[in-house]
């Protein structure tokens, strides 16, 4: 449950190069790391150096369990940093692989506290491939989708999570395998219409195992 997770502090250092959105220098990260432990043994991520340029699409590819999602957690500040430096320039939107859905309407799950803009909402729903799904719901976009999205499929949950991130209109998008729970046709739509077109000009870090 997202609301039960420990609070984490986002990184607030600015990038040295104004053309970069994310800079990690010699970063050492570990889950539940003791604050007084200076040993590098047992670290999940060791000596990470990463530069992400602004307004570019960067893909992190690799098999399940290779630590792809941990890199996003390190950028977000969720994974404790033992040493090194992380710099972020811009606001961040995050779409996790395990989509978090709360007990409210589909529309409110996408708005997530942001001001209501119907035209923007319709565009986001379209690029995230949710139009057809909404048309089959009893109350359309105002359908109550239940705690943890109990009445949504895995692919629908993931697209609602992606739509929430897109609607936020942030500077940096961290997308954790958003295509993993959808079929090839929907995945192609999401990549072409949402990631490549709608988010064009944004900084995108896409975690995926689908090289094609």
Question: Directed axis angle between helix 118-127 and helix 154-167, to 10°?
Answer: 140
Residue 3 lies in a domain: no
What pTM did the predictor assign? 0.88
Domain of residue 29 covers: 10-90
Shared-domain flag, residues 63 and 139: no
| E-assigned strand segments in 32-162 | 45-53, 57-61, 81-88, 92-95
Shared-domain flag, residues 162 and 192: yes
Shared-domain flag, residues 49 and 121: no
DSSP letter for 190, please. I
Residue 62: the pLDDT is 82
Shared-domain flag, residues 58 and 121: no
DSSP letter for 161, please. H
The candidate with the shortest Cα–Cα distance to 128, out of 144, 114, 109, is: 109
Q: What is the pLDDT of residues 15-65, one digit of tens each?
A: 888 999 999 999 999 887 555 555 555 568 999 999 999 999 999 998 877
| Predicted confidence band of residue 203 (pLDDT cuts 50, 70, 90) | very high
Residue 113 lies in a domain: yes
State the Cα–Cα distance between residues 199 and 55, nearest whole angstrom.
Answer: 9
What CATH number did the domain enclosing 84 receive?
3.40.50.300
Domain count, the chain: 2
Shared-domain flag, residues 179 and 98: yes
On the 0-12 / 13-18 / 19+ scale of CB atoms within 10 A, 95 is: buried
Query: Nearest-5° angle of CA 160, CA 165, CA 168?
Result: 125
Residue 110 lies in a domain: yes
> Of 71, 90, 109, which marks where a domain is finished?
90
Cα Rg of the chain, angstroms: 18
Shared-domain flag, residues 100 and 175: yes
> Of 90, 124, 156, which marks where a domain is finished?
90
Q: Is the dihedral of CA 28, 34, 39, 42 positive or negative?
A: negative
Q: What is the pLDDT of residues 138-194, one digit of tens each?
A: 899 999 987 777 889 999 999 999 999 999 999 999 999 999 889 999 999 999 999
Residue 55 lies in a domain: yes
Shared-domain flag, residues 121 and 67: no
Neighbouring C-alpha atoms within 13 Å toward the C-beta of 193: 17
> Of 69, 90, 111, which marks where a domain is finished?
90
Shared-domain flag, residues 84 and 122: no
Residue 129 lies in a domain: yes
Shared-domain flag, residues 79 and 142: no
State the Cα–Cα distance between residues 155 and 26, nearest whole angstrom.
Answer: 36
Residue 22 lies in a domain: yes
């Amino acid at each position: 449950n997202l609301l039960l997770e420990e609070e984490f502090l986002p990184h607030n250092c600015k990038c040295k190069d104004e053309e970069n959105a994310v800079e990690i220098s010699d970063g050492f990260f570990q889950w539940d790391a003791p604050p007084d432990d200076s040993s590098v043994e047992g670290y999940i991520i060791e000596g990470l150096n990463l530069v992400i340029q602004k307004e570019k699409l960067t893909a992190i590819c690799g098999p399940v369990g290779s630590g792809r999602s941990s890199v996003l957690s390190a950028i977000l500040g969720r994974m404790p940093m033992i040493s090194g430096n992380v710099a972020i320039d811009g606001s961040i939107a995050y779409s996790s692989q395990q989509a978090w859905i709360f007990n409210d309407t589909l529309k409110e799950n996408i708005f997530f506290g942001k001001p209501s803009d119907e035209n923007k909402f319709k565009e986001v729903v379209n690029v995230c491939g949710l139009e057809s799904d909404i048309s089959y719901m009893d109350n359309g976009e105002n359908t109550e989708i239940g705690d943890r999205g109990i009445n949504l499929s895995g692919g629908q949950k993931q697209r609602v999570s992606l739509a929430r991130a897109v609607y936020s209109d942030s500077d940096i998008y961290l997308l954790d395998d958003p295509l993993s729970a959808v079929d090839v046709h929907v995945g192609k739509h999401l990549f072409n219409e949402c990631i490549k077109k709608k988010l064009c000009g944004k900084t995108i870090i896409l975690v995926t195992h689908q090289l094609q």
